[in-house]
Amino acid sequence: MFNIKGFIKTSLVDWDGKITSVVFLPHCNFRCPFCHNKDIVLNPNEFENISIEGIDSFLLENRDFIDGVVITGGEPTLHENLPDLCRHFKKLGLLVKLDTNGSNPEMLRYLIKQKLVDYVAMDIKAPISDAKKYHISAGLDNLDIEKIKKSIDILKNTNIESEFRTTIVPGLHTVEDVIEISKSIGKESRFILQNFSPKNTLDDKFTGIKPYQREELEKMAMAAKKYVDNVKVRG
């Protein structure tokens, strides 16, 4: 049985160039203060389970225009049966995208080796060279940065498509941070700067933070392009 707590039937924004459905898995091992999916992280039992049969019914009825399924959360790699869920959607003839925080490189490596994912989006919370800032951004006192580094290396050296994403939060992230992250992910990577949204944040104090202006994020993107070829601002 798959522990699915959310399902978006149709999305045009979760996978560039693709029409997808989105599946939400509960629980997360991070406590990012700016997280906007806090309910599925903190109170997953308040959500009813969504049957895989109901999801399959929609996907099969609409397979002519649905390209794939995005598996997100929460943190999907916490679920031991994630490979089975990916395999399930692949058997339906669908592409699979995984959203992850990179804390489980072993699971990530397995999914890629078994060809169970077609695209991976990994969130990088802060420069991996700054453990203190990474801990603050992830909302944890104890975080194994080496696992994050391993996941970055896995994606840098795989043939499947991938992207690295950082949510840019005023007071947490500066242009210098963006540059340091850019240096760590490699010239040929894809780097997405996501604008922070002060809505329904895990830490209520973050609802009072004003997001960066689009122009400020574009300047950060220009700085990142010195180190990464493909940089995009989202949101």
Closest CA to 6 of 23, 20, 18, 31: 23
Convert the pLDDT of each residue in 200-213 to its tens digit. 999 999 999 999 99
Q: What is the mean pLDDT of residues 164-192?
A: 97
Alpha helices in 139-235 (DSSP H): 145-156, 175-185, 214-224
pLDDT of 1 strictly over 90:
no
Among candidates 194, 174, 191, which has minimal Cα distance to 225? Answer: 191
Structural domains of the chain, ranges and CATH numbers in brackets: 6-170 (3.20.20.70)
Give, in order, the Cα–Cα distances in Å from 65 to each of 36, 94, 101, 173: 29, 11, 29, 38
pLDDT surpassing 90 at residue 235: no
Over range 93-98, report the average pLDDT.
98
pTM: 0.96
Query: Contact, 182 vs 168, CB < 8 A?
Result: no
Average pLDDT over residues 76-101: 98
- CA separation for the pair 60, 91 (Å, rounded): 11
